[in-house]
Amino acid sequence: MSKPKATYHHGDLRQALIHAGVAVLAEEGMHALSLRKLARQVGVSHNAPYQHFADKDALLAAIATEGFVMLTAALDAALTAARATPLEQLQATRVYVQFALAHPHHMQVMFHHLEHQAYPELQAAAMQAFDQLVTIIARGQHQGLFISAPPAQLAGMVWVFLHGLAALLIADKVPERMLSQATPEELTRIYLHWLFTGIQCMPNHDRS
């Protein structure tokens, strides 16, 4: 709260700015993120940040990277905590949605950059999160649980679903009747089940 000066001269101004950025993001949202404000909070002049970031976009990319690291950690924790069966792990991927609801503005920054991947570290961090999905899908395939297809393509389907649900929830676009009495948590479970079984009408296969 009131530790104005710290170790910024020791070479970690970069980390301090990222950290301050994450805090501002959580408290006030993306619109409140400015280089000058972060510099002020951290106690340096308004253009000291340029020593560590080419421009504002580079700082946003660093914050986004940090977000993917956090997401990867959350996924990792949930997947190792889940019982070992791939089906339970598939259900455990709902931490993705939980993470998004817990850090909506961070998610906004993480997926803000459109059609230019000028930040290899960001791309790499995102891929590390994706890798977790690929791993559990591949394991499930070996056990004959999932259909035969490129594991990354199959994992992509799961990611697409998780991200879509997270994005719509965050953007406040999920109407009452779509929830149909369910909580977002419950809806996530239902949808993950449908993702597994499909939405077509079948004779009846009802062991989860």
Partner DNA sequence: ACCTGAACACCGTTCAAGT
The residues that touch a second copy, with contacts defined as CB under 8 A, are 29, 104-105, 108, 111-117, 126-127, 130, 144-150, 152-165, 167-168, 170-175, 177-180, 182, 187, 190-191, 194-202, 205
Inter-residue contact 47 to 83 (CB < 8 Å):
no
Q: What tokens does 49 get? A: 């940040």
Applying CB under 7 A, which of residues 28, 45, 190, 197 lies at the interface with DNA? 45
Residue 149 has, within 13 A of its CA and on its CB side, a CA count of 11
Residues 18, 76, 199, 191: is their CA dihedral positive or negative? Answer: negative
Position of tokens 């340029």?
A: 50
Question: Looking at 3-11, 64-72, 128-136, 137-145, which segment touches DNA (CB under 7 A)?
Answer: 3-11
Binding partner selected for residue 199 from a second copy, DNA, none, CB under the kind-specific 5 to 8 Å limit: a second copy
Using the rule CB under 7 A, is 7 a contact of DNA?
A: no
51 binds DNA (CB under 7 A): yes
Q: Which does 99 bind (CB under 5 to 8 A by kind): DNA, a second copy, none?
A: none
In the complex with a second copy, which residue's Cβ is closer, 15 or 98? Answer: 98
57 neighbors 116 (Cβ within 8 angstroms): no
Q: Does 50 bind DNA (CB under 7 A)?
A: yes
Out of 15, 34, 123, 135, which residue is the one contacting DNA (CB under 7 A)?
34
Counting residues that bind DNA (by CB under 7 A) gives 20
Distance CA 117, CA 189 (A): 33
Binding flag, residue 113, DNA (CB under 7 A): no
User: C-alpha 117: how far from its chain's center?
Assistant: 17
Residue 178 contact, options DNA, a second copy, none, Cβ 5-8 Å cut-off depending on partner type: a second copy
Q: Is 30 in the site for DNA (CB under 7 A)?
A: no
Q: Least distance in Å: CB of 98 to a second copy?
A: 16
- Alpha-carbon separation of residue 15 from 21, 46, 53, 56, 81 (angstroms): 10, 16, 11, 15, 30
Tokens representing residue 186 in the block: 């419950």
Asked whether position 112 contacts DNA by CB under 7 A, the answer is no
Q: Tell which residue, 102, 123, 120, has the closest CA to residue 111.
A: 123
